[in-house]
Structure 1
Amino acid sequence: MKNILFAASILLFMVSCNNSEKSQAVEVSDASNIVYVPFGEEIKADSALSAAEISLQYQNMKPGDTLKTKVMAKVNSVCQAKGCWMRLDLENDEEVMVKFKDYGFFMPKNIADKEVIINGKAYITEVSVDELRHYAEDAGKSTDEIAAITEPKRTLSFEADGVLLIEE
């Protein structure tokens, strides 16, 4: 009986170690030597809108509208607590706030200035003062900067179900 329990424990340990390798998967593009590190659901790198193109789409949206799309943009910042959100540069002094579907995956905290391709839903939200302060705290802002947040903000938002981190 002890041998069976020992063998089951070893098997369970091996299976749990195998799952960690899955998150390290890397896809290499054949067309150019671009390497993509995937997060979340599997997505392809093709047909992504540029930051400028999605910015134009957001201009025509109002709170409540959604757009299923794929976007390529540069990461401005990432949640420094867990990697549970990121802000992408739209190249016109605007950013899009990206959260991850069902809190299902996180991004590395050190990817500022790297390019990503995100897949999911673009939408407009109005973010409360409490939530804005929470994000400022996660981003490492000072107490004075956090206290200066006193009004809700119309935010360009995105719920990503999959992300490709571009490593060149």
Structure 2
Amino acid sequence: MIFMVFSACVAQNKPSVPTKAALINGSNDYFGTQFDDSDAISSGEMLGNYETMSKKDTLASRFSGLVTEVCKAKGCWMKLELGNGEVSMVRFKDYAFFVPQELEGKEVIVNGLAYVEEMSIRDQRHFARDGGKSEEEIAALTKVEKKYAFEADGVLIKK
């Protein structure tokens, strides 16, 4: 019995990372899905929402925040300041897009789902490496922690 396997070469649609020039000249305001940002809440209001959520809750949300950190490997996640020393770890739905690493210090609006998670030590260390943390900082991560998380289907860079 002879089996024949045929396959087609198909270009893979991998997320692209915008260039620094694209970020500066404003040609890429949105990453992912475009959305109406008129009802976006502040990061402080979002912190209040997170504080009332349990691990099983999700909340469709749209909020603005200051980017405090971006994945140094390829822009596949970012952290947004919420206030009171808290941050939201933002990942991108279906790994469909990345954001520029130069986004740190800029104000953005994210659209998607907020949730609370317990992040494993392994995952914390992975994200710390991606964020460019030192080996000492990575080694100091020794317990599972409650984290405020967000799955964004769209990001708008505020001008």
Give me the TM-score of the superposition, normalised by structure 2. 0.82
1:19 corresponds to: none
Map residues 4-153 of structure 1 onto 2, 5 A cutoff: 37-153=29-145
AA aligned to 1:144 is E
Segments of structure 2 that go 5 or more residues without pairing to the other structure are 1-21
**Matches of 1:84 and 1:55, distance apart in 2:** 23
Unaligned runs of 5+ in 1: 1-23, 29-34
Contact 1:98 1:157 in 2 (8 A): yes
> Which secondary structure state, in structure 2, belongs to the residue aligned with residue 117 of structure 1?
strand
Write the distance in 2 (CA, Å) between the matches of 1:117 and 1:56: 17
Shift of 1:64: 1.1
CA distance in 1, matches of 2:78, 2:32: 14
2:31 alignment partner AA: F
Q: Give structure 1 regions of 4+ aligned residues with deviation exceeding 3 angstroms.
A: none
Q: Alignment RMSD, CA only?
A: 2.3
Q: Deviations over 1:17-55 (max 9, x none)?
A: xxxxxxx6xxx9xxxxxx970000111221001011010
Provide the aligned length of Structure 1 versus Structure 2.
139
TM-score, structure 1 length as denominator?
A: 0.78
In terms of mean alpha carbon deviation, does 113-122 or 140-149 score higher? Answer: 140-149
What is the DSSP-based 3-state SS (H/G/I as helix, E as strand, rest coil) of the residue aligned with 1:110?
helix
Structure with the higher fraction of residues in helix conformation: 1
